[in-house]
Amino acid sequence: MRNIVSAEWTKLLPHRGTWLLVWLYPIAVAVIMAIAIGVKLASSDPGAALTAKAWIEQTAPIWYVPMISLGRYLVAAYFALVFAGEYGWNTWKLVVPHAARWKLVGAKYLVTIGLLYLAWIATSVIAVLLQFAKFGIAGEAIPQGVTLAAILAAHGKLVLLGIAPLLLTAAYASVMAVLTRSTLAAFLISLVFVTFDELLGKIVGGLSNFGMEWLAVPYRVLPSYHLDNWASWLRDGTGHQLRLASGAIVSYSHTTSLLVLAIWIMGLAGLCLLTFRRQDIN
């Protein structure tokens, strides 16, 4: 397994798709923050003093990537490329005879997720260092309460919030890639799924005003509500509730939502593996 992971790593690390969809993050943040430093130095207005919380929040936007629609689209694009690209490159036939198929799929998940988190960690480190540099160059004091422990705690909480949507997006894209054998098709279908996750709650709430409360049934089962609910429990310590026009409330515990999300993620990943194992690779 280690050799397969190493081979996948070696293949993806220099790939153009990795540069466009992974290393894009640290490069973009470094450029943006460098520009912000230049603007800060050119401006005579010192601006409002930041609290420690606000100071730290300015270093952590990268961790919102797997939680917002645009970020999930980019994640889906990368997984679609990694999984479906093998069909377009016609390279599966070179590796399938030499390794168990579950190992090939597992290596793709491990390396793709690993590269994304490596890029995001590098981005957050760059953001913190440039934030210190910006205040140091401008001669401004770092707010009281900005400590390594506080930075790690704030970033760590956002990391936890992003795990479930990242894994679900990866599952969408990978299973669609194997089913369609097309990078573009896998990406477009994943885009629909991600958008559906984001909008389903609003659709259910809106249509309940027209008596269509039956939509609350699939809403209770599909990942959309449970992504919001799990995030709400982690972020605020309270669950997410959707009140329907009749007064009925969609509400579940954090354990239930975690279980539902785990079933969806593992089920989709299992479908990806099952489909791949049954494919005739020529």
- Give the per-residue pLDDT at 137: 80
| Percent of the residues in the chain that have a pLDDT greater than 70, as a whole number | 97
- Give the per-residue pLDDT at 45: 59
Q: Residue 64 corresponds to which tokens in the numbers above?
A: 């919102």
Given a contact cutoff of 8 angstroms between Cβ atoms, the answer to whether 69 and 195 are in contact is yes
Average pLDDT over residues 52-75: 93
| Percent of the residues in the chain that have a pLDDT greater than 90, as a whole number | 57
pLDDT at 53 over 80: yes
Report the candidate in 58, 65, 231 with the shortest Cα–Cα distance to residue 151.
Answer: 58
DSSP code at position 238: S
pLDDT tier for residue 52 given thresholds of 50, 70 and 90: confident
| Helices and strands, number each (H, E), in the chain | 12, 2
Give me the helix-helix angle, 101-138 and 24-42, nearest 10°: 10
Q: Around Cβ 150, how many Cβ atoms within 10 Å?
A: 14
For 122-156, write each residue's pLDDT tens digit.
999 999 999 888 888 877 788 888 899 999 999 99
Which of 35-44, 187-196, 231-240 is least confident? Answer: 35-44
Residue with tokens 């959707």: 242
| 160 membership: H or E segment, kind and range | helix 148-180
pTM of the entire predicted model: 0.91
- Using CA atoms, how far residue 265 sits from 50, 188, 219, 248, in Å, is 40, 19, 17, 28
DSSP code at position 215: G
pLDDT tier for residue 44 given thresholds of 50, 70 and 90: low
Q: Which has more pLDDT, 39 or 75? A: 75
- Give the per-residue pLDDT at 246: 81
Cβ burial of 143 (10 Å; 0-12, 13-18, 19+) is middle
Average pLDDT over residues 67-78: 95
Query: For residues 119 and 140, what is the distance between their CA atoms, to the nearest angstrom?
Result: 29
pLDDT tier for residue 268 given thresholds of 50, 70 and 90: very high
For 190-238, write each residue's pLDDT tens digit.
999 999 999 998 998 888 888 788 888 899 999 999 999 999 999 888 9
pLDDT tier for residue 48 given thresholds of 50, 70 and 90: low
pLDDT at 9 over 90: no
- Give SS3 for 249: strand
Query: For residues 114 and 120, what is the distance between their CA atoms, to the nearest angstrom?
Result: 10
DSSP code at position 212: -
Query: For residues 257 and 233, what is the distance between their CA atoms, to the nearest angstrom?
Result: 10
Length of the chain as a residue count: 282
For 81-125, write each residue's pLDDT tens digit.
999 988 888 877 777 777 888 888 999 999 999 999 999 999 999
Mark 20-30 as b/e (b = at least 16 C-beta within 10 Å).
ebbbebbeebb
How do the domains of the chain map onto residue ranges? 2-278
